[in-house]
Amino acid sequence: MILILKSNVTDEQVQHVLDRVESLGLKAHLSRGTYRTIVGIIGDEEKLRALPLHALPGVLDVIPVLPPYKLASREAHPRSSVVEVGSAEDCRVKCGGGHLALIAGPCAVEGWDQMQRIGRAVKQAGAEILRGGAFKPRTSPYSFQGLGEDGLKILRDVGGEHQMPVVTEVTDPRCVEMVDKYADMMQIGARNMQNFVLLTEVGKTDKPVLLKRGMSATVADLLMSAEYVLSQGNPNVVLCERGVRGFDAKVTRNLYDVAAVAAVKQLSHLPIIVDPSHATGQPALIPPCALAGVAAGADGVHIEVHDRPEEAKSDGAQALLPDQYAKLVIQIRQLATLLTDSNAVDEGATQ
């Protein structure tokens, strides 16, 4: 931690700052420059974060030198984590560390027939994990809110039939146990990324968690939310970039942030996938943005697929048709191969 003091700081104020730091058993390192006095603090930054250093008289700025997320940081855990989704041996899917996971399905579970048709279609197209929402967090209280436990059962059955693990969103801490029973992966939606109560609950399970980035979350915010889950003892966190709030929603809806994907790969060992469906909301933009995410280093792609978009009860307009999805999967796989090969060449070259 570094403290930058005000230009008009008094000697008493400097001494007070040093006293406070040392009262915590840490060492302070004073450096007087021409225009500014700086205090470097050596020791456990966690202790310091608890202290309102900004409130000390004479302090202009407080600059942490370590990331506030410890368990999520690559510094603490240099090797990329691999998260396994699915418990049955014949349908376990890996995400991270070179394993690209393809997740697809409709926005909402609308009924058995719909899930069967779409489940079969995405399986044939090459998807590995089936998605479908049973609890829908809708902006309007008047919109379709999902089928609840009935939806979970349908999802579970259809997943089983097609040997695909299933992922579905959980929105209520009181439902975590129920969702955990049916799902192979629990999704925390963007609007709940900082619902710390919910994060703590899913952290108490050992079920893989798909944690979507909130619309105004910085990369550090996202990693801190992952830290909530990790700190409860659940190491199975997969992050998801799905666009942040931008100023041109009419054209690109959310601002799809592929540089954040590349940055997360530097800062954290956790896998991160992309969701171009929610990011762009337009079928014409989804395939190029899916490929862009993979090119940026994503460990998976999440796509909404519906065979009858104009009848969908939720987000029909942003769904790809099964044919469009099938074509996209081919391109994604080719691109992933290209990247793996060229990185392999590269690693070979640097040995």
Which of the residues 68 through 107 are near its own copies (CB under 8 A)? 68, 75
- Give bridge partners of residue 29 from the DSSP assignment: 40
Minimal distance in Å, beta carbon 261 to its own copies? 8
Q: Is 266 in the site for its own copies (CB under 8 A)?
A: yes
How far is the C-alpha of 19 from the C-alpha of 41, rounded, in Å?
12
Q: Measured from the CB of residue 152, what is the shortest distance to its own copies in angstroms?
A: 16
Quote the CA–CA distance of 316 and 319 in Å, as a whole number.
Answer: 5
Length of the chain: 351
User: Comparing C-alpha atoms, which of 131, 136, 135, 133 is closest to residue 165?
Assistant: 131
DSSP assignment of 259-307 equals: HHHHHHHHHBSS-EEE-HHHHH--TTTHHHHHHHHHHTT-SEEEEEB-S
Look at residues 290, 287, 285 and name the one whose alpha carbon lies nearest to residue 273.
290
Alpha helices in 64-174 (DSSP H): 112-125, 149-161
Considering the complex, state which of residue 119 and residue 243 has its C-beta at the smaller distance from its own copies. 243
Restricting to residues 159-198, which ones interact with its own copies according to CB under 8 A?
Answer: 171-174, 191-192, 194-197
- Is position 111 an interface residue for its own copies (rule: CB under 8 A)? no
Q: Which of residues 236-255 bind its own copies (CB under 8 A)?
A: 243-253, 255
User: How far is residue 318 from each of residues 135, 187, 253, 284, measured CA to CA in Å?
Assistant: 19, 19, 11, 9
Shortest Cβ distance from residue 70 to its own copies (Å)? 8
Quick one: 89 or 251, whose CB is closer to its own copies? 251
Closest C-alpha among 136, 72, 138, 76 to residue 108: 136
The reply to whether 10 sits near its own copies by the rule CB under 8 A is no
Note whether 344 binds its own copies by CB under 8 A: no
- Does position 256 bind its own copies by CB under 8 A? yes
Query: How many positions of this chain bind its own copies (CB under 8 A)?
Result: 118
Asked if 313 interacts with its own copies (CB under 8 A), we say: yes
11, 89, 113, 346: residue in contact with its own copies (rule CB under 8 A)? 346
List the x/- string, 17-56, binding to its own copies by CB under 8 A.
---x--------x-x-xxxx-x-xxxxxxx--xxxxxxxx
Contact range with its own copies by CB under 8 A, out of 83-91, 179-187, 222-230, 233-241? 222-230
Phi, psi of 207 (to 5 degrees): -75, 140
Quote the CA–CA distance of 67 and 75 in Å, as a whole number.
9
C-beta closer to its own copies: residue 53 or 118: 53
Closest to its own copies by CB, 55 vs 90, is 55
Q: Which of 96, 146, 159, 214 binds its own copies (CB under 8 A)?
A: 214
Among the listed ranges 84-92, 98-106, 177-185, 279-287, the one in contact with its own copies (CB under 8 A) is 279-287
